[in-house]
Amino acid sequence: MSGTVGTVPNVLPARIEPMLCRSARPFDSPAHLFEVKWDGVRALAFVEAGQWRLQGRRRAGLASRYPELALLARLPSGTVLDGELVVLQPDGRPDFAAVVGRENGSAARAADAARLKPVVYVVFDLLWERGESLLARPLRERRQRLHACVAGLDPRRVFAAEGVEGAGLALFAAVQQRALEGVVAKELDAPYRPGERSAAWQKIKALQSVHCLILGFEPAGDDDFRSLIVASDFGGELRCVGKVGSGIGEAERRDLRARLFTRRVARPLLDAGMPGVWVEPGLYCTVQFLERMPSGALRAPVFVALHDGSDS
């Protein structure tokens, strides 16, 4: 693929593991940069000798799926960027289902997909510049160089993520108001640590909560369960919204086992669209989640608390 060829060809590593985040709660700190956590697919872009390639967390060779990002080849040879591939809705919020569809779509149909659901590459770090590794440099320097690096590209396809220093609580409140995924806090003086999950980068997710009816459970052997099958209101009707297994502590699991296995019935209250063991109505739980999928299913559900009919 043609583009501006820099002066340092064939020096980049074949792969760089992306730096990872620890979970945290909202906070303010003058030592941190706070950014919106973009809800998309993580990708590192490598530009060398007029060619470009994309590496995801699980696989490489993603460039053929995103022909609309061919403008990356114009960057100087020896450039490596870290960022997120997102598909934006008309209101500017990310459409996670759409970008997952792009990632898993056929490379043969990439041109059509790029026209119908184009991605934007939101870049938040510069790892190599003109053949020089910046991994050991502090984030504040890498960010400054990043903005200069991508300034000449079409911002409808590639742009540098904005951030605020210090005011993490205010940004988190704004993110919650817009129903975005969350915030990432990054130490301004920290180097880039490939593959490492450290306190230098912290993710703060803006979770939503919903009150769910327990329809049944996915069994694990004869006397335990793997996950709960739950329903909640969606579009004015009670609908199965998926399974939840994360967040259930051992004491809650014992309580649930005692209740679930004594309330078994032959059929669920409504069609769950999945196999399971069903229980009579009357058990409820609070579930936190990131977002509702178009089907009504809860994305990344986490169990919070159990309720029975008397406290629902």
Residue 103 phi, psi (nearest 5)? -65, -40
**Active-site residue set:** 37
Note whether 301 and 214 are within 8 A (CB): no
Nearest to 62 by CA among 17, 110, 4, 25: 110
Q: How far is CA 143 from CA 37, 53, 197, in A?
A: 16, 21, 20
Structure tokens at 303: 């169990």
236 backbone φψ class: left, alpha, beta (φ>0; ψ -120 to 50): left
Note whether 304 and 212 are within 8 A (CB): no
Q: How far is CA 295 from CA 179, 196, 203, in A?
A: 18, 35, 27
Note whether 240 and 273 are within 8 A (CB): yes
